[in-house]
């Protein structure tokens, strides 16, 4: 099944239907005229009630028989559409306005691979959702209890190395060229990897600071040993990859 649409939104739920329902309501209130299709993937069994809900955009439901990884789910959704733009949204994103016109305008530029909005917490504090590419030094500092290097606020359009997977609006052309997310990552670092590959292909990664969305963060890896171990495996996979070696080479070549 191939669906043609200018803008497709992909959402994956991990027993998060209340959050998904709230996000769909936000999309209906603020963005219904801009969205051609929402693909909603339920990664695990959960009780849902969408039949009685009415939206001005079609919602295609996918139920997985077994759980799949972040990248695998979003790549599968992308494979059934033909679109100009492809937006990956986490269920815990909330909208206070329509982010898409400004983001699509930026993503329309041939040099742009992915665009993100400015992301804040429920209390209005900036999230560290736009960062420099990680380094081994930063990794050791993080393992010792430090924090990742985020990119400071700016005005207009800023150019971080990578943006977090909670909200990524891709040029479908660039996403297709990258073959989407690397499915060897199950849940973490897919966003770092795809942005690194976009950088190596010459694509810009942008944040539109004039567009803000809210992230209702649910940081399972901070509370669950299984997610923490998965996160750690993904970190080491990235640092052992050819992509990381090429990014380091690119960074060294750009030094004065």
> Do the bridges between strand 37-42 and strand 3-13 make them parallel or antiparallel, or are there none, so unpaired?
parallel
Higher pLDDT: 153 or 204? It is 204
Q: What's the DSSP call for residue 132?
A: P
Separation between Cα atoms, residue 194 and residue 254, nearest integer Å: 20
> Do the bridges between strand 3-13 and strand 81-89 make them parallel or antiparallel, or are there none, so unpaired?
parallel
Name the range with the highest mean pLDDT among 41-45, 63-67, 87-91.
Answer: 87-91
Rounded mean pLDDT, 199-227: 83
pLDDT, residue 221, reads: 47
Q: Which residues contact 36 (CB under 8 A, 6 or more apart)?
A: 3, 4, 5, 6, 7, 8, 57, 58, 83
Using pLDDT thresholds of 50, 70 and 90, give the confidence band for residue 232: confident
Does 157 have pLDDT greater than 80? yes
pLDDT, residue 66, reads: 93
Angle between helices 225-239 and 242-253 (to 10 degrees): 60
| Average of per-residue pLDDT values in the chain | 89
pLDDT, residue 147, reads: 60
Separation between Cα atoms, residue 130 and residue 154, nearest integer Å: 11
pLDDT in tens, 79-103: 999 999 999 999 999 999 999 999 9
Does 222 have pLDDT greater than 60? no
Q: Domain locations in the chain?
A: 3-253
Higher pLDDT: 109 or 144? It is 109
CATH 3.90.550.10 assigned to domain 3-253? The reply is: yes
Q: Which residues contact 96 (CB under 8 A, 6 or more apart)?
A: 30, 212, 213, 214
């Amino acid at each position: 099944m191939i669906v043609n649409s200018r803008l497709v939104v992909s959402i994956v739920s991990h027993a998060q239907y209340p959050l998904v329902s709230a996000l769909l309501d936000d999309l209906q209130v603020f963005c219904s005229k801009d969205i051609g299709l929402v693909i909603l993937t339920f990664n695990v069994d959960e009780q849902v009630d969408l039949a009685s809900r009415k939206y001005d955009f079609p919602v295609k439901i996918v139920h997985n028989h077994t759980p799949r990884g972040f990248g695998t789910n979003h790549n599968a959704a992308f494979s059934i559409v033909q679109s100009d733009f492809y937006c990956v949204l986490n269920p815990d994103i909330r909208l206070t306005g329509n982010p898409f016109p400004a983001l699509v305008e930026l993503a329309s530029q041939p040099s742009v691979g992915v665009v993100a909005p400015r992301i804040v917490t429920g209390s209005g504090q900036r999230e560290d959702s736009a960062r420099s590419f990680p380094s081994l030094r930063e990794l050791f500092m993080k393992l010792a209890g430090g924090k990742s290097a985020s990119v400071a606020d700016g005005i207009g359009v800023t150019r971080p190395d990578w943006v977090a997977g909670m909200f990524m609006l891709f040029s479908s052309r660039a996403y297709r060229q990258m073959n989407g997310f690397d499915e060897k990552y199950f849940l973490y670092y897919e966003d770092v990897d795809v942005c690194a590959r976009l950088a190596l292909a010459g694509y810009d990664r942008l944040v539109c600071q004039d567009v803000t969305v809210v992230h209702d963060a649910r940081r399972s890896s901070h509370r669950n040993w299984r997610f923490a171990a998965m996160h750690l495996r993904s970190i080491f996979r990235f640092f052992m990859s050819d992509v990381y070696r090429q990014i380091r080479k690119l960074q060294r070549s750009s030094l004065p």
